[in-house]
A and B are shown apart, each in its own frame.
Chain A
Amino acid sequence: AQSVTQPDIHITVSEGASLELRCNYSYGATPYLFWYVQSPGQGLQLLLKYFSGDTLVQGIKGFEAEFKRSQSSFNLRKPSVHWSDAAEYFCAVTFQGAQKLVFGQGTRLTINP
């Protein structure tokens, strides 16, 4: 079965520090990959997506992610976090022809001042 794993349930970093959130998927076909962010009590906002081409993709709010096929990973990074980045982050994956997204369980990010 298709699955997405976000190994870290909760991460705490200091403001200004770098961030990496991990995402691994299990699929046989070429995946289409997404990162979403959710503030408390809100809907999900798309940060970035990967369909093909350059494996390093840039998103909104200074985030980027790198697709590594050999590791079945799509990790999210930010060089310097801001207090406003505190939220829950979801990785999601689908594949060609599919109409359903499969989501990871999410990583909650806390920022220390």
Chain B
Amino acid sequence: DGGITQSPKYLFRKEGQNVTLSCEQNLNHDAMYWYRQDPGQGLRLIYYSQIVNDFQKGDIAEGYSVSREKKESFPLTVTSAQKNPTAFYLCASSIVLLDYNEQFFGPGTRLTVL
């Protein structure tokens, strides 16, 4: 089955540690996205990538970093500079078309920083 995989589903880290969240897709999509979700705030875009080896900052990129070395993979690192990292993180992907952008979502990773 084609889809988006995020691992792990739950992640616990101590304050001050960097942590990397995995996102893999086998939909052959060009574009991939990372969102952060907090209660009552909807989804906020962290980073996105439309092509391998290129990515752009979203609305809340501070304290996060990404890489896009392969089309299928778009890992997100939450660094110690992120002041409030506890949240639900969602990865998405889409075909890159001229006209529109329909995104497909993974199941999410809940990160808790202790």
Contact = CB atoms under 8 A, between A and B. Distances in A.
Contacts of A99: 31, 48, 50, 94, 96, 101
A100 B45 contact: yes
B106 interface: yes
Contacts of B41: 105
Nearest to A51: B100
Contacts of A42: 107-108
Nearest to B108: A43
Given A43-B90, A44-B90, A105-B40, A94 B108 contact: no
Nearest to B102: A49
Interface residues of B, number: 28
Nearest to A45: B105
B101 A46 contact: no
A34 B106 CA distance: 17
B40, B50, B90, B102 — most chain A CB neighbours (10 Å)? B102
Interface string B84-98: 000010101010101
A32 B99 CA distance: 9
Interface in A23-48: 32, 34, 36, 41-46
B99 A96 contact: yes
A103 interface: yes
A11 interface: no
Interface in A60-75: none
B42 A43 contact: no
B8 interface: no
A98 B45 CA distance: 14
Contact of A41 (B31, B48, B106, B110): B110
Which 4 A/B pairs are nearest by Cβ-Cβ distance?
A43-B105, A105-B42, A44-B105, A103-B43
